[in-house]
């Protein structure tokens, strides 16, 4: 008797809720969960040179990538900034010698943030780019001379 | 019998059976207050009811309804407390789940879910170049720009060349 009652309850539950569950399931896949609005971006300003062979300890996570891409022997961290980017709110970080980097979050999906990056020198744009960053991916912007080497900006995002 | 008695007589039975409307009830009661004939008629009806009811009540009092007790006892026997082993077995018994009423909606749900999810699971869309690309665009009025994207190393390089004498990426 108890079993029959349980079966009846399960059956009526299924009848009642199955359409709703199916509808919710379809909704879940049709519309991915909303991404968080803020993107935490890390900007590291690195001086790369062939003077010495110093690898800054805080660049350990990047060392393998830098070593596989460049021939420099020394990587020194000049600046390490973490910025919380809100949508369409530009944030600026001074880099070196009158240069600054301005980053704006222009889009955000579940696993990808679109960032507009402007590097300015004395207020004028010298580089204007837009990149898609997923957590764990790094964009290196480098080339301008700095001291005995060059300056490299490492951009990464977490959200 | 008065003239109005004939019209009240129709309502009297309804009044006696408690089926008269409020209006009929007040009419009958007004009439009964000064009509002894109708009072007697109502008394006869009550006597008749008592005449029928008394033997029925007496018979009901003597009847023990053994078949009812049998059913009650049977129900009690079926509802007796199960031992822990029987309870466990009833919990583990999945047979109610295989009844048509349950498995038909369950199967329908499963089929719909499979139809909805299979394209997502098995037919992954091949990302276009613009979806794979990390750098959407790059422009510089000052530098020559080179973009190098490495999928495995999860790194993208945007290299700015100031002039032919400057450093360049060397891998």
Is residue B8 located within the same domain as residue B56? yes
SS (H, E, C) chain B: CCHHHHHHHHHHHHHHCCCCCHHHHHHHHHHHHCCHHHHHHHHHHHHHHHHHHHHHHHHHHHCCCHHHHHHHHHHHHHCCCCCHHHHHHHHHCCHHHHCHHHHHHHHHHHHHHHHHHHHHHHCCCCCCHHHHCCEEEEECCCCEEEEEEECCCCEEEEEEECCCCCCCCCC
User: Cβ–Cβ of B135/A130 closer than 8 Å?
Assistant: yes
Question: Which pLDDT score is estimated for B152?
Answer: 67
Q: Evaluate if residue B39 carries a pLDDT over 80.
A: yes
Does residue B15 belong to any structural domain of this protein?
yes
**Domain count within chain B:** 3
Q: Are residues B115 and B140 in the same domain?
A: no
Q: CB B155 to CB A141 under 8 A? A: no
Mark whether B113 and B156 lie in a shared domain.
Answer: no
The answer as to whether B168 is a domain residue is no
Could you tell me how many residues make up chain A?
A: 159
d(CA A153, CA A102): 12
Select the highest-mean-pLDDT range: A11-25, B27-41, B61-75: B27-41
* pLDDT of res. A26: 75
pLDDT score of A32 more than 70: no
Question: What are the backbone angles phi and psi of residue B15, rounded to the nearest 5°?
Answer: -65, -40
**Are B113 and B140 in a shared domain?**
no
Distance CA A146, CA B92 (A): 73
CB contact under 8 A, A143 and B162: yes
Q: pLDDT at residue B50 above 80?
A: yes
ipTM for the complex shown: 0.74
Average pLDDT over residues A129-134: 90
Q: For the residues A12-20, what does the mean pLDDT come to?
A: 73
Q: Do B170 and A10 touch (CB under 8 A)?
A: no
Q: Which residue of chain A is at minimal alpha-carbon distance from B167?
A: A143
> Do residues B27 and B7 both lie within one domain?
yes
Q: pLDDT confidence of B167, banded at 50, 70, 90? A: very low
Mean pLDDT value across chain A = 82
A76/A59 Cα distance (integer angstroms): 8
Q: CA B65, B69, B73 angle in degrees (round to 5)?
A: 170
Considering only CB atoms, which chain A residues are within 8 Å of B166? 143, 145, 150
Contacts of A21 in chain B (CB under 8 A): 109
The confidence score (pLDDT) of residue A130 equals: 92
For residue B154, the enclosing domain spans 129-161
Q: Does B153 touch chain A (CB under 8 A)?
A: yes
pLDDT on residue A2: 55
Give the count of beta carbons closer than 10 Å to the beta carbon of residue A124: 8
> Is the CB of B134 inside 8 Å of chain A's CB atoms?
yes
How far is A118 from chain B, CA to nearest CA, in Å?
10
Residue B69 is assigned to a structural domain of this protein: no
| pTM exceeds 0.90 | no
B43: CB partners within 8 A, 6+ apart? none
pLDDT at residue A4 greater than cutoff 70: no
Nearest CB to A143; choose among B153, B155, B159? B159
CB contact, 8 Å: B46 with chain A?
no
- Mean pLDDT for chain B? 79
Please report which confidence band the pLDDT of residue A116 belongs to, taking 50, 70 and 90 as the band edges: very high
How far is the C-alpha of A121 from the C-alpha of B147, rounded, in Å? 21
At B163 the pLDDT is: 59
Does residue B128 belong to the interface with chain A, where contact is any CB pair within 8 Å? no
In the 8-state DSSP scheme, what is residue A59? G
CB crowding A102-112: b at 16 or more within 10 Å, else e: ebbbebbeeeb
Query: How many A×B Cβ pairs under 8 Å?
Result: 138
């Amino acid at each position: 008797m108890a079993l029959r009652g349980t079966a009846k309850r399960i059956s009526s539950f299924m009848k009642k809720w199955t359409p709703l569950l199916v509808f919710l399931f379809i909704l879940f896949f049709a519309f991915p969960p909303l991404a968080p609005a803020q993107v935490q971006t890390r900007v590291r300003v690195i001086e790369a040179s062939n003077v010495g062979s110093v690898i800054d300890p805080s660049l350990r996570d990047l060392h393998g990538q830098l070593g596989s891409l460049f021939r420099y022997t020394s990587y020194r961290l000049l600046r390490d900034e973490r910025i919380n980017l809100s949508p369409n709110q530009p944030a600026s970080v001074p880099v070196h010698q009158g240069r600054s980097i301005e980053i704006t979050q222009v889009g955000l999906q579940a696993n990808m943030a679109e960032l507009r990056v402007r590097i300015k020198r004395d207020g004028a744009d010298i580089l204007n780019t837009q990149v898609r960053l997923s957590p764990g991916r790094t964009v290196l912007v480098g080339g301008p001379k700095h001291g005995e080497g060059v300056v490299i900006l490492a951009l990464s995002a977490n959200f | 019998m008065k003239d109005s008695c004939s019209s009240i007589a129709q309502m009297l039975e309804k009044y006696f059976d408690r089926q008269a409307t409020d209006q009929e009830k007040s009419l009958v009661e007004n009439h009964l207050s000064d009509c002894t004939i109708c009072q007697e008629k109502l008394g006869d009806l009550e006597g008749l009811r008592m005449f029928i009811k008394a033997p029925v009540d007496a018979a009901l009092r003597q009847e023990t309804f053994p078949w009812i007790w049998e059913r009650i006892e049977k129900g009690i026997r079926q509802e007796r407390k199960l031992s822990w082993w029987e309870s466990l077995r009833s919990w583990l018994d999945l047979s109610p789940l295989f009844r048509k009423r349950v498995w038909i909606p369950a199967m329908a749900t499963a089929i719909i879910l499979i139809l909805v999810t299979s394209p997502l699971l098995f037919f992954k869309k091949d990302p276009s170049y613009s979806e794979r690309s990390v750098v959407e665009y790059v422009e510089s009025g000052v530098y020559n720009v080179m973009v190098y994207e490495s999928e495995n190393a999860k790194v993208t390089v945007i290299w700015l060349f100031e002039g032919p004498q400057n450093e360049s990426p060397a891998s």
